[in-house]
A and B are shown apart, each in its own frame.
Chain A
């Protein structure tokens, strides 16, 4: 798959419509790489001109900031902003709600002002503009429950964009006991992804997976690579990974469209 870098495109004297900020998970994590690829397929099918930063991309600093290392966060942010501004980037799309939140909310104050959208929002826009359509009945009648990522939902009030896409799949959208404003965290936020949990009587991802399983789903839909990992682990723990799949919304759409 050819994924153009911003350096290449700029060298050709062109400017892409949108920069795809892949994020560390989307670049390095085996599970999340599949999400990146699915999303690129959607961008290609919609014939949208896009580019990635490739080796010029670096961690947004989100996990450092939430872990309390504001210094490291700001160093990362300033360096990334320098790269983004040198290319005069105006619009960024990302498949990771953590990158999305940081780029959108915390970079402007440090000199990085861009239009930042989550991939579920961009896909909705493409549908609205008629540049992309979801026709497949691949998931018709499937039971899909959607897990709200904290940094997309509560943090930025994006509740409907992912849900609209699931409904477009002709699937049955099931809501968990805790959803939208009351969505339960998968347990990865605030840099928890990178450490062992504190002592307790249960892991958060198990609690959340149990809530998801109560809806008796065929598929758990996620919109965050970290939620995806946490819920996958939860399914394995519950020995339900054979019966229930965990898929990013980009993956659902790509497979529905057979791309």
Chain B
């Protein structure tokens, strides 16, 4: 009986880690369904980019209010999680505040910092909730946020408030028990915040206080483990994926759009005077499809981008098309890509290989009207605090529309045939190119 709680904790802890690992491997499998792309060049720059953008939050602060609030929650998340180490050790070994004797006064400093951060996180999250629900900030109310995305965002905020409150309640009751010199509750830690919560609990007996303290402790760690496994179902994966996402982000100038390799091969063949026109064209084992109509045509970084997206909507709020009432929303492009990828992933899990389900990313998720509204201005790419590139997906899908389906808007077809026929997007004679120098 004495070890019941240790065993219970071990089961809870290992099973949630196991479940998390399973789901995380599933995400990794789905991401790697994407096409290969080499982003292992310039490793030093990549580490620096990750340090600066993900770890250092450098792009978050371009919006000072949400950036600062996010910074507090982020620091809180990282620092308070140090306490997790002790909680897990205590849970497995049946001890209480196992690290206190080893750390001495530094322990008090740590607990005090956790408490201050926890209080700041609660305040920040309440402000986040207010911004999201009461202030009617446009980017939280776009059509793609209806339903689950909105609920998901609120759930995460509630989760954080509950976890932080449980942490403080746990410390408050612990503090009381320490002062009552209850055996096992050694004097350890300094409680600058939770000491103010103690008045709520002073009227209880020692027995009840112990029950309270244990309940808060268990709910707190159980809550963390549930939250860990909630990540898989939520938009909150950025807490992990922001790091690889910034590491593998595009480091080239934003204006440089990759030259399509399949096209490059074809053009080379066409222009090679030594090519035997009757020889079968070796297009290799690679698919010779131009552009992307479904998630499997995208590369793995674009797919990782979709899992990393937190749906903050900074991209959409900077998008000139969206600002002027067009259907296009770069955030929706990322959300659609993830939704479709999860559908394709489930299909692969069920059938071993992807079995045609009569659907695709194009039309079933992303309409042509959205794709044609993009000005390729890179505002969305610039706005993303963690290096997501919705524009590359839009461009790949345009390539499919034009090169596989010839379904560009009529005006664009005119422009393109002008380029083809007379080397300019307008119907002017190329022989007249230098006339401008003559007229006055």
Partner of A26, one of B400, B412, B436: B436
How many A-B residue pairs lie within 8 Å, measured between CB atoms? 223
A33 at the interface (CB under 8 A from B): yes
In the complex, per-residue mask of A44-88: 1 if CB is within 8 Å of any chain B CB, else 0: 000000001011011101011111111110111010000000000
A203 contact set on B, CB distance < 8 A:
324
Q: Mark B7-47, 1 if CB is under 8 A from A, else 0.
A: 00000000000000000000000000000000000000000
In whole Å, how far is A26's beta carbon from the nearest beta carbon of chain B? Answer: 7
Chain B 401-440: CB-based contact to A (< 8 A → 1; otherwise 0): 1110000110110111001100111101011111111111
Query: Is there a chain B Cβ closer than 8 Å to A90's Cβ?
Result: no
Decide if B403 touches A69 in the complex (CB within 8 Å): yes
| Chain A residues positioned under 8 Å from B320 (CB to CB) | 184-185, 187, 204, 207-208
Judging by beta carbons under 8 Å apart, are B324 and A190 in contact? no
Question: Contacts A33-B436, A155-B255, A191-B412 hold; do A67 and B402 have CB atoms under 8 A apart?
Answer: yes
CB atoms of A201 and B408 under 8 A apart: no
Is B323 in contact with chain A by the CB < 8 A criterion?
yes
Which single member of A54, A58, A70, A206 contacts B403 (CB below 8 Å)? A70
Are A5 and B419 within 8 A (Cβ)?
A: no
**With A36-B436, A68-B399: A182-B318 Cβ-Cβ less than 8 Å:** yes
Q: A154-B377, A192-B375 are in contact. Are A54 and B434 (CB under 8 A)?
A: yes
B373 interfacial by beta-carbon distance below 8 Å? yes
A157 to chain B, nearest CB (A): 7
Interface: B326 (CB within 8 A): yes
| Count of B interface residues, CB-CB < 8 Å | 70
B236-270, CB under 8 A of A: which get 1 and which 0?
A: 00000000000000001111110110011011001
Which of these, B291, B395, B433, contacts A27 with CB under 8 Å? B433
Residue on B nearest A58 in the bound complex, by CB: B423
Interface status of B364 (Cβ within 8 A of chain A): no
Is B382 on the interface with A (CB-CB < 8 A)? yes
Cα(A36)–Cα(B76), bound, Å: 56
Tell me which of A24, A67, A201, A206 contacts B398 (CB under 8 A).
Answer: A67
Q: How many residues from A make CB contacts under 8 Å with B?
A: 73
Asked if B369 CB lies within 8 Å of chain A CBs, one says yes
Contact B433 A54 (CB under 8 A): yes
Give CA–CA (A187, B373) in the complex, Å. Answer: 10
Contact A76 to B419, CB < 8 A, known contacts A154-B379, A185-B320: yes
Contact with B along A97-130 (1 / 0, CB 8 A): 0000100111001100000000000000000000
In chain B between 225 and 243, which residues have their CB closer than 8 angstroms to a CB of chain A? none
* Residues in A whose Cβ lies below 8 Å from that of B259: 70, 74, 106, 109-110
- Asked if residues B434 and A195 are in contact (CB atoms below 8 Å), the reply is no
Quick check: is A22 within 8 A (CB to CB) of the other chain?
A: yes
- Smallest distance from the beta carbon of A147 to chain B beta carbons, Å? 12
Q: Which A residues are within 8 Å of any B CB, using their own CB?
A: 1-3, 5, 22, 24, 26-29, 33, 36-37, 40, 52, 54-55, 57-59, 61, 63-72, 74-76, 78, 101, 104-106, 109-110, 150-151, 154-157, 181-185, 187-204, 206-208
Complex A-B: 29 CB contacts under 8 Å? A1-B437, A3-B437, A24-B423, A27-B424, A27-B433, A27-B435, A28-B426, A33-B436, A36-B436, A54-B434, A59-B424, A63-B416, A63-B425, A66-B376, A66-B395, A69-B403, A70-B399, A106-B257, A150-B375, A156-B253, A157-B253, A181-B62, A184-B379, A187-B320, A189-B376, A195-B372, A195-B411, A195-B412, A199-B326
Other than the known A27-B428, A184-B320, A195-B415, what 11 A-B pairs have Cβ atoms closer than 8 Å? A1-B440, A33-B439, A63-B425, A64-B419, A70-B403, A101-B255, A150-B376, A150-B377, A154-B255, A198-B369, A208-B320
